[in-house]
Amino acid sequence: MTAGGKAGRVVHVLALNTGSSSLKYGLYKVDGDTCEALHTATVDAAPAPAPSDGAGTPSDAPGARSDAAGSSVGARPARDISPSPQNPLDTIVKTHREKNLPAPDAIGHRIVHGGPNIRQHAVIDNALMKHLDEARAFAPLHVPPAVDMVERCFDAFPGVPQVACFDTAFHATLPAVAKTLPLPADLRKGGIERYGFHGLSYESIVRQLGPGIPSRTVVAHLGNGASLCAVLDGRSVDTTMGLTPTGGIVMGTRPGDLDPGVLLYLMRERGYDAGRLEQLVDRESGLKGLSGGTSDMRKLHEMDNDASKLAQDVFVHTARKHIAAMVASLGGIDLLVFTGGIGENDEVTRKAILAGLQWIGDFAVRVIKTEEDEQIARHTWALTR
């Protein structure tokens, strides 16, 4: 991975972790492995605008910006960027001014999916922006708002280099047997494979464990989005999410692995089109669908009805099954790490999951706070210094 390295130049990095409805951000003072948070917060994020034709603007179009190296960066169609409650960067700039914080020397973005051609963290230029436009199809819930945030930053922080940090990068080490989906060759050549996600979170866990990381480690990132990763000697060798962040274990509003015949049935018998299916699998399923209303595990613990109990039981059941699958990929387990919102804070769910894994035998269990945003800051320092 890119993060880390020798100290030598202090850089103030604005790390942006854009979700579909919120923006988590932090300003970090970075010098090598030292990463100090000066300010962190979460604000509402503006919804990404729908693309007009998907083509974007050519890199040689009038108005294309240039980075420090002289390459045109982020040329996009003109749009209204006037201050508004919908632009979270207005809030960030105002807050930093009020707190007398230093201006960012570089900006790092969490990008969930880079598509089939971009599997490493990289400085954003026009060529990368083209790949990001193409990657929208692979993660339509996550990539569009992140790309829109990159565009907004070009306007709000002219001349400041930006870096894309991909959740898929950590899983670039997946062996063919783990990343290959059982589909015809012509489809696989088009980029349909297992990519894996939550890579920045997994990177942060591996970094925190350090050189002494046990050989066979399973990391469970459990939150509104949830996945598992089999880490062999610090490298990803298997993971639960696939082509998109929808597969794997049950999540807040996503079903995880689902018989594809269910989707065919809904198309054939219920008249569902792609848009309706996308709404179903991204926003209406998982804990929310099972409970009949909420995706918040804390609220499910407080509720006392059959639906909430079923939602919790299904979550625990699928988490156990997939942990066992990761153990099989590793040929055993030395350490299980819980991280993410549920993994770090929900002792009830952790204990329930562990209660069903006693047959495996002895292994260590740790709870470690994920540091996705710090990883973004470190990568951005390394790629722009």
Catalytic residues: 167
Q: What are phi and psi of 274, to 5 degrees?
A: -60, -40
For residue 108, list its beta bridge partners: 15, 163
Whole-angstrom Cα distance, residue 157 to residue 81? 12
The full DSSP string for 344-365 is: HH-HHHHHHHHHT-GGG---EE
CB 58 within 8 A of CB 112: no
Spatial CA neighbour of 219 closest among 247, 198, 244, 193: 198
Contacts 24+ apart (CB under 8 A), 115-121: 115/191, 116/190, 116/191, 116/193, 117/191, 118/164, 118/166, 119/166, 119/168, 119/169, 119/172, 120/2, 120/166, 120/169, 120/172, 121/1, 121/2, 121/163, 121/164, 121/165, 121/166, 121/169, 121/379, 121/383
Spatial CA neighbour of 49 closest among 130, 138, 145, 143: 145
Residue carrying the six token digits 């970090």: 28
